[in-house]
Every structure is written in C-alpha cells, then in structure tokens.
Homo-oligomer: A and B are copies of this chain.
C-alpha cells in the first residue's frame, strides 16, 4: 500500500487557504473516533478517506464498526455469514465485503458504482479497500461492535485480519466522554 502517493487520498493545497481561527486552541490534538455505521459504498469511502488521512497525520484514530458497517469488514471471499436462516438470508441479500459495497442511490443495475470506481481510478483516488489497508498500516484501530456481531451471527474468523477486540457502546462512549471527536458516518 506504500505505492499510493499521499496526494491521492487528500489533495491539500500547499498554501493553506483557510484563516487560522482567531482564538487559540490550548488543547492537544484530539483523538478521532469514527463510527462506521453505514454499509453504502460512498459512506464507506468517506469513512476510509478520513481514517487513512487521520492516520497519516499521526492522530490517534479509532473506527468503531457497527450495524451495516460491520458487513464491510467481513472478508471479501466470505459469501454467507450467520448461523440461523435469518442471519444467512440477510448476508445473502446484502453481499458482505469492502469490495462489494453499493451506492445508496443511482445504482442502475451496478452502473453507478462502476462509474464511481472508474472515475476514482482516473483521478488517482484510492479504492475503499486500499484506503482501509493504508489506514491499518498507519495504526488506525478498527473495532467491531459486539452486539452487531451477535445479531448478525458474524464470527471473528469472518472478519478481515487485524481487527481489534469486539466492544460495546459503553466503551465507545467512554472515549467520547474523554474528549475524542466523534464522527457518525
């Protein structure tokens, strides 16, 4: 993943175009805490761009993966997850894996996502999968939601490598309470 040039993920003009806020911030840089809630292609992309960029800026960054977002972190080669028929059916209806995300609209039998990925390649924007791997390499922690794993019957061996221990909402909220900036995506 080191082959991806940094400008591809976050093209920041050299001359910072924004005025420095008038009041001084005496705080140290805050932890970034992304809730990756949606399984849609475009929101997955947004979450991965923010996670990898934040990682590249050496900000402590955690991504809490919950609800539809957990399906994104199932390995691409796993087709059906779950133990009972309901769980299996849900994974069947929405194919898991970061390479199989769909747009929330304009799908048009797959043409929308196809155009999106083609445009991204043309403009040197890394794919969600590449950004995820980059983020992991940069030390971003991806933490699955225990409750979602239970409800969807997703096991740890279904998930991609390098995920953290599953936790619940209380752990997540304790980070917010301590000062991390939450982004619910």
- Residues of chain A at the chain B interface (Cβ within 8 Å): 9-13, 16-18, 21-23, 25, 27-32, 35, 37, 42-43, 45-46, 49-50, 53-54, 56-57, 59-60, 62, 66-68, 84, 86-87, 89-90, 93-94, 105-106, 108, 112, 115-116, 118-120, 122-123, 125, 141, 143, 146-147, 150-152, 164-185
- CB atoms of A150 and B31 under 8 A apart: no
Cβ of A163 to closest chain B Cβ, rounded Å: 11
Indicate which residue in B22, B68, B125, B180 contacts A147 across the interface (CB closer than 8 Å): B125
Top 5 nearest A-B pairs by Cβ distance? A17-B165, A10-B168, A29-B177, A53-B169, A12-B168
Knowing A11-B147, A27-B178 are in contact, say whether A16-B171 is a contact too (CB < 8 A).
Answer: yes
- CB atoms of B32 and A23 under 8 A apart: no
Chain B residues with CB under 8 Å of A115's CB are 86, 89-90
- The A interface, classified by DSSP as helix, strand, loop or mixed, is mixed
A128 to B57, CA, bound (A): 35
Cβ of A174 to closest chain B Cβ, rounded Å: 7
Chain B residues with CB under 8 Å of A151's CB are 116, 119-120, 123, 125
Chain B residues with CB under 8 Å of A120's CB are 151
Knowing A12-B171, A90-B106, A118-B86 are in contact, say whether A25-B165 is a contact too (CB < 8 A).
Answer: no
- CB atoms of A173 and B50 under 8 A apart: yes
A10 to B168, CA, bound (A): 5
- CB atoms of B30 and A176 under 8 A apart: yes
A124 to B105, CA, bound (A): 31
Cβ of A151 to closest chain B Cβ, rounded Å: 5
